[in-house]
Amino acid sequence: MTKAVVVLDFGSQYSQLIVRRIRELGVYAELFPYDATETSFAHLDPGAFILSGGPASVFEANAPILPPFLLLANIPILGICYGMQLLAFAYGGEVKPVGHGEYGGTTFHPGVHELFYGLPDAIRVWMSHGDRVESMPSGFRAIGHTDCSPIAAMVDAQDRIYGLQFHPEVEHTSFGREILKNFIFHVANLSVGWTPVRFLESLTEEIRLKVGTQRVLCALSGGVDSTVTAFLLHKAIPEQVTCLFVDTGLLRSGEVQEVEQALGQAGIHVKTIPAAAEFFRGLERVEDPERKREIVGRLFIRIFQREAKKIGHFQFLAQGTIYPDVVESRGKERLRSDKIKTHHNVGGLPDIMPFKLIEPLRYLFKDEVRRLGVLLEVPESILQRQPFPGPGLAVRIVGEITEERVALLQKADAIFREELQGLSDLPSQFFAVLLPVKAVGVAGDKRSYGSVIALRAVSTQDFMTADWTAIPLELLARISRRITNEIRSVTRVVYDITSKPPATIEWE
């Protein structure tokens, strides 16, 4: 393997996004905790280090610190946001709190330096910091500024240590990819050597080494991620995998049949368990979304335990967890990033299980999962399906879960998805949400009092940030008419125009 990039995680929500951006350039990158030892990544033969941002301040008593070996490293280092402040602080510079902070988009003026090769005189960048570098360490110089940060980029005298106060890894930063590309190829002089094919080879080998001759029970939720996981396991250990598809009663219309057909045609053994009654009982009168996730996760495990005993002894439980699930749930190895919400397949699992957990897609983003699915020959109809949360419609129904409310939402969601299929450029994700309120309406000259459906559609590259999609008004009007005409108990349809952040993509 050619030299890789080691990204040290200081708790940023965007840490894995840095890894993804580097991989997109054809260079292998891997994420490690900020306090990882040199030996933990020595096998990668690092050619550069990138320090992520993070929620801490260098002034906090228990703030993450700069690993001592970095002070002696003789390879390029790029610090982003908190990573920059940490470098400045460690080398003797001055870091101070900013009175009002700097958050969101701002204009950055790059200096003349190979890190900014090919960039215009001013670019839009994404800031998110409460501290800033007030004065640089001896031997450093500023190579860029914003109106609020005179030292928004810096470099040492040897052109080895770099700092950026903004986040080049997010879509909101213009020319962010070009900055990272310049760092990787012009500063660190690394070579392209990472491809999806190689990644698939390494994943299958990793699964074979981890599982050995033991058996795996693969949890199917009906979404893209768990289906790709099933195909991956089938490729790596075809005779050792059984897929368990739990029909929770919380899936989208027609979903069970679609998944069964796709996996059956690929020769993958699937056992479907009708369990809607159990899930409805478990969720009865539960309104809190975190409790919903916990209940769904525990019911999944309980059913897996019960069914596994019926069909044989399994040592591993495989799940389709992907990185946005992990970072939003603040998985155990990412305790330094702030929790946003728990995903049932990350935070809803009991601490003690009779299975060892295997999550081969844990560090991939949705589009990377889809590219992997293409290599695995997963049917296009499955790969291009809308992302779907593990707890299903339980977290798209705000408030109490009942069979009647689920049936209502299934119909509204099916209409929304059907109508949007005519768009030439589909949103990245779109779905309907049932709200816990009633609204007055008029039907047949009579007053009615019915349910409210919210429609949500977003466009995104990585699902870490997202913008609401401007669906044509004529199409939205037709969707609204169909929902209110075909589902008489719905009296109002609204459209969500909130981006992520400040919102999340899902409502709960």
Catalytic residue, from 113, 129, 169, 255: name it. Answer: 169
Inter-residue contact 78 to 160 (CB < 8 Å): no
Distance separating alpha carbons of residues 261 and 116, to the nearest angstrom: 51
Q: By the 8 A CB rule, do 67 and 39 touch?
A: no
169 is a catalytic site residue = yes
The answer to whether 225 touches 320, Cβ cutoff 8 Å, is: yes
> Which residues, other chains included, contact 144 with Cβ-Cβ below 8 Å and sequence gap of 6+?
108, 109, 110, 111, 116, 152, 153, 164
Structural element, H or E, at residue 304 = helix 289-311
Catalytic entry in 81, 102, 343, 359: 81
Cβ 448 vs Cβ 421: under 8 Å: no
> Is 307 a residue of the active site?
no
C-alpha pair distances (Å), 179 with each of 17, 147, 182, 414: 15, 20, 5, 42
Cα distances (angstroms) measured from residue 250 to each of 141, 278, 404, 414, 454: 57, 11, 11, 14, 18
Consecutive H or E run containing 432 = strand 429-443
CA dihedral in degrees (165, 171, 173, 174; nearest 10)? 150
Whether residue 81 lies in the annotated active site: yes
Distance CA 296, CA 292 (A): 6
Residues 6+ apart with CB under 8 A from 196: 371, 372, 375
3-class secondary-structure state, position 158: coil
Contact, 478 vs 419, CB < 8 A?
yes
40 within 8 A of 32, measured Cβ to Cβ: yes
Catalytic residue among 113, 129, 167, 234: 167
Active site residues: 81, 167, 169
